[in-house]
Structure 1
Amino acid sequence: MPLDLTAAQAELDSAGAVLATLEEQVRDGDTTVTPQQLADQRELIAYARLRVEAAERTETRIREDEWATLGAAAKESAEQLITGAGMDGIADATRAAVDAVAHLAALAHERNARIAEIGSTLSQLDNDLQAGPWGSKRYGVWGDRTRLVVPGVGDAPRLDVGMLTTAAVIAGLGATTEGREAQQQHARHFHGLRDQVVRNLLERYPELAKVLSVTEEEWAAADTRGRYELDQQGRRPVAEEVSA
């Protein structure tokens, strides 16, 4: 059974302490201590040092074996992560998030358009009545393109789509430690070079290209500025793979 390093070091320390005691006895004039005793003790110390070195080498081999086992397990796990489902789950969730944000924004834009439409009617009514701002109050409603009010019922202010979608992201990230860190990262990326952030993400994770790239129809429908931004983000349409 290999010697434990702690036990080997204890033996070395004990042998050293015995030698120190014998040498001190000689210094004090003790004639019972013989040269052979000193020599034997020094040999014992040398042997104990070798046993310490042996124990150290044994522990090193054990640690190396443990490291090799951990390394092999980590490699196997990494290979399974890379060659298995990979980014499929992330890609699906990203697609769902994109669709959810797009749906939320579309509903908000639709509501804002309706508010603006009704508000324009009220503004025209105010103008026709020549009764000054909010002349339409006589009919129990007033407002403009940014806000509608029906006293006793409620009001409908224009939705800030950017604020709405940002709030959705914040709520989705959560208030955990990881969530707060992600919120900070989101704010930093969003207020930085947003086009470059998207491009960097797609370059790092090409699996997300099909998820975040626009379709040929969306590209055709975009205006000049929109196509420029999509190009800067690396979100041009992805060519469909043709099966053999």
Structure 2
Amino acid sequence: MTIATAERAAQDAAQAVIDLEERVRDGDTTVTATMLEKARKEASFAQLQIDAARRGVEKERQAEHAADVKAFMADYEEHMAGADLTDLRGAYADAVVSVAYLFTLLEDRRREQTAIMNRGQSLGLTVGKTPVPNDADRWREQFLNPATDFVALAVEEGQKGFASRNGQPAVHVLHTPERREEIGSLPRDDKHERGIEMRDRILNEAIAATEPA
């Protein structure tokens, strides 16, 4: 029996008691004490059936919850038993080495860059930010801006396929011409989805290149 059905039955039983009591008050001698007592017992029993229905619903809820917990624990144990962080730890260690290598190369290049600028200035050749004015274009193509965090850009690019500047895909001096063209071709509308596709392709190509033929 559902709670709603039990409640309707209890309402009917309670109303039956009220109706009998009113008939007695109105002088109806056909209503006996036995009839009234029976109606009251039925109304009391109907209330118990409401409690029974509610308890039944609660028992079902508890049983469902217990089943869900049991299923979860089975999945949890399977997850924990099969947990192997070897690949993740290896990838993390490789990333640390790659970051260290990139950072070291950047620092070396920037030191050389600064030294060239200082020498150009001491010789009176430097104009603005170019040590050799008539070679400004080539200098700009290889200039590493000290304010640019290339490590952070590499992390972002590895996460979503491209790094952003002002919300748009950004290219920089460390990109190959092919990579610049690829990033520059990303459409504005679905650039994030295309970026993920591009990231996955680059990753798969890199993995394939390390596998034996």
TM-score exceeds 0.5: yes
**Residue number in structure 2 paired with 1:159:** 146
* Structure 1 residue 32 displacement after superposition: 4.4
Identity in percent: 26
Deviation sequence 1:44-73 (CA, Å, 0-9, x none): 112212322322332232222212111111
The match for 1:188 is none
- Rounded to whole Å, the distance in 2 between the matches of 1:67 and 1:42 is 38
1:98 is aligned to 2:96: yes
- Unmatched runs of 5 consecutive residues or more in structure 2: 161-213
Residues 183-231 of structure 1: CA distance to partner in whole angstroms, max 9, x if unpaired? xxxxxxxxxxxxxxxxxxxxxxxxxxxxxxxxxxxxxxxxxxxxxxxxx
- CA distance in 2 between partners of 1:106 and 1:87 (Å): 28
The TM-score with structure 2 as length reference comes to 0.58
SS at match of 2:106: helix
Distance 1:62 1:115 in 2: 74
1:77 match? 75
Answer yes or no: is the 8 Å Cα contact 1:115–1:158 preserved in 2.
no
TM-score using structure 1 length: 0.51
Q: State how 1:1-244 maps to structure 2 within 5 Å.
A: 3-126=1-124, 135-137=125-127, 141-142=130-131, 150-153=135-138, 155=140, 156-160=143-147, 163-169=149-155
Distance in 2, matches of 1:88 and 1:103, equals 22
RCO (CA 8 Å, sep 6+): is it higher in 1 or 2? 1
Q: CA deviation at 1:106?
A: 2.7
User: What is aligned with 2:181?
Assistant: none
Aligned CA distance change for structure 1 residues 93 and 136 (closer, same or farther; 3 Å): closer
Q: Distance in 1 between matches of 2:114 and 2:122?
A: 12
Question: In structure 2, do the counterparts of structure 1 residues 51 and 149 end up closer, same or farther at CA, with 3 Å as the change threshold?
Answer: farther
Q: CA RMSD in A?
A: 3.3
Unaligned runs of 5+ in 1: 127-134, 175-244
The secondary structure found in structure 2 opposite 1:151 is helix
Contact 2:10–2:47 (CA<8 Å) still a contact in 1? yes
Residue 142 of structure 1 aligns to a residue whose secondary structure is: coil
Equivalent residue, structure 1, for 2:191: none
Query: In 1, Cα distance between the equivalents of 2:91 and 2:27?
Result: 87
Kindly state the Cα deviation for residue 29 of structure 1 after the two structures are TM-superposed.
4.4
Q: Call closer, same or farther: CA 1:121–1:42 in 2, change over 3 Å.
A: same
